[in-house]
Amino acid sequence: MKRRLLINILLLAVGFIQSAALYADHGTFRFAQITDIHFSPNNPNPTEDLLRTVAQINATDSIDFVLVTGDIAEEGDRATMLKVKETLDLLKVKYYIILGNHETKWSDSGCTAFEEIFGGERFEFEHKGILFLGFNSGPLMRMANGHVVPQDIRWMTERMNLFNTGNSQLNKPVILVTHYPLIEGDVDNWYEVTDAVRPYNIRLFIGGHYHRNRDLRYDGIPGILMRSNLRDKDGKPGYGIYDITQDSILVYTQRIGEPKQQWASFSLTKQYYDHNGKAEKYPDFSVNKEYPNAKEQWIVQTGAGIYCSPAVEKNKVFVGDDMGVLTCYALKNGKKLWSFQSGKRIVGTPAVAEGIVVFGSADRNIYGLNSKDGSLLWTVKAGEPVLGAVTIENGIAYIGASDHTLRAIDVRTGKVIWTYNGVKGYIETKPLVTADKVIFGAWDNTLYALNKSDGKELWKWTGGLTRMHFSPAAVWPVAANGKVLITDPQRAMTAINLENGETVWRTFQSIVRETIGLSEDGEQVYSKTMNDSIVCYATKGDKPRELWASNVGFGYEHAPSMQVEKDGVMFGSTKEGLIFALEPKTGKVLWKHKIGNSLISTVVPLNARQVLFTATSGEVGLLTIDN
């Protein structure tokens, strides 16, 4: 008995030694982290802060490389990112960089400039036995929670499988690098990411975003958020230092001109989480049991991020995606009929009329396709990426681009009828086409009104907005009773005189943001508040008049998905996968249905009982409501 016990103890000891050897099969090294740099053309301080950081890193011994974890440019523009690169290139060691939300939400290139400047949206490298994977955590072009797209989750698991080739236990150490923390409220599909990476030996997530040091757990997996590089209340810029030893990861904050201060440490041998477990929490889908009459007639998991709404013509549905593919699905059952590959991601919602699908791509082209088979009919080249949604009226397509231009194009021939290039910012909105005007906003604090026939400027409205981030650029304007109605990120709803661009009224009463929708009779306008409710205002009169407010219970909300009324039902959607319907005259909730947990773009109702939808997480589907 004693001999058997001794043998068992020896076997356990050998197993422990072998396991520890596997975990410690790496060299010791040191690296730095710089995050939340926020270069701005209007503020020299971030530039000075980064220059001081680069100089100190260059003067520090034994820094093997630097991780740069997003929010490098306040406005996400190409010119500022080029300046960041010039500064980072002064580093004597190699650096690896990912995007933050300031590069993904506000981007005149649809995030393509980042890839062109820095070589990619992800990074992968192995250093002394540890694999580092960095990837985008969104949100891309739409105000919402962060999101890791399906293709990036696949990429992570593929790279970790390759890293562990020949090792069935998948226990070679991996460090994952994001901007956002992988927790509820920050990344909408945190649970998908943690479940996907859990089988592997994830030693640490490294990120930023909060501008302060945080030691977190992502479903048990250790996660570090480092302070911003921006100077703190004492006027000191700062960054992170990581020492990798044989058995530990030691985490330090390094302020300029001071000794580094350790504030966290992690074991390289301890098991922090159950590799065979699941996320500690998942989204709540119980609302679907409360409203069982709303059902998914069909749903397609495309496997790619989607940032635009669907377009529909007769029996076909058209959707663009993050991979630059415009796909046609059968309206009846979601069957894929054809697809067309553009050069880069599609951000703006397409439009279709007269058998021709029109859409823009970040590859700097506007395309016209045959809706029957996807064959290319024509191409219009733009000077910069084309991120705008398309409006077609009477055979003319109206679409804006990042080359400061709005174009009117004959959909049959691809001939450009007119251009307006007086825009200072980039355009992502869907133009409003009225009887004689084209109205749209841009990321330059301005709403523009042009003559529909020749593109001549009629008026511009700025409403006293002073920050680019307050621009009426994501909202799709509506018009009724002699007014253009918009909402903006300053949390106001505004009515503007349609003829002269003068402000009729502006209210902050309801704390709305970037959504608006018009009733079918033009008498009411709808918007989402930033907490739980839909509000309804009258379009008549020279003062704001709220008609009703309805608590839909969707929580904190800031996604730019518009409200749409169809056949006596008002439809809406949220950043956390909810689609809902209200009675237009009273605001009574008719039904709610949760698709997933990511942004649902502006839905497309076919009638009172059928509504098409797309989701950032890659779903396209048709929801049907039974009586």
Establish how many alpha carbons lie within 13 A of residue 483's alpha carbon, considering only the half-sphere containing its beta carbon.
Answer: 24
**Which residue in 37, 107, 2, 601 sits closest to 320, CA to CA?**
601
Domain spanning 22-267 has what CATH number?
Answer: 3.60.21.10
pLDDT value of residue 15: 41
Which residue ranges in the chain fall short of pLDDT 70?
A: 1-25
Q: In DSSP terms, which residues pair with 519 in a beta bridge?
A: none
pTM reported for the whole predicted model: 0.93
pLDDT value of residue 9: 39
Question: Burial, 443: exposed, middle or buried (Cβ in 10 Å; 0-12, 13-18, 19+)?
Answer: buried
Q: What are phi and psi of 177, to 5 degrees?
A: -125, 120
25 CB contacts (<8 Å, ≥6 apart)? Answer: 129, 172
Determine how β-strand 201-207 pairs with β-strand 173-177: parallel
Locate the domains of the chain by residue range.
22-267
- In 178-270, which ranges are E strands? 201-207, 214-218, 221-225, 238-244, 248-255, 261-267
- Cα–Cα distance, 610 to 9 (Å, whole number): 66
pLDDT value of residue 241: 98
Using the 8-state DSSP alphabet, how is residue 600 labeled?
Answer: B
**Which residue in 186, 138, 184 sits closest to 305, CA to CA?**
138
Q: Give the residue ranges of DSSP H helices in 166-208.
A: 190-197
Q: Residues 470-479: pLDDT tens digits?
A: 999 999 999 9
pLDDT value of residue 25: 61
pLDDT value of residue 11: 38
Q: What are phi and psi of 280, to 5 degrees?
A: -70, -20
- Cα–Cα distance, 160 to 30 (Å, whole number): 22
Q: What are phi and psi of 164, to 5 degrees?
A: -100, 15
Compute how many other C-beta atoms are within 10 angstroms of the C-beta atom of residue 151. Answer: 17
**Which residue in 591, 569, 588 sits closest to 580, CA to CA?**
591
Compute how many other C-beta atoms are within 10 angstroms of the C-beta atom of residue 531. Answer: 12
Establish how many alpha carbons lie within 13 A of residue 182's alpha carbon, considering only the half-sphere containing its beta carbon.
Answer: 31
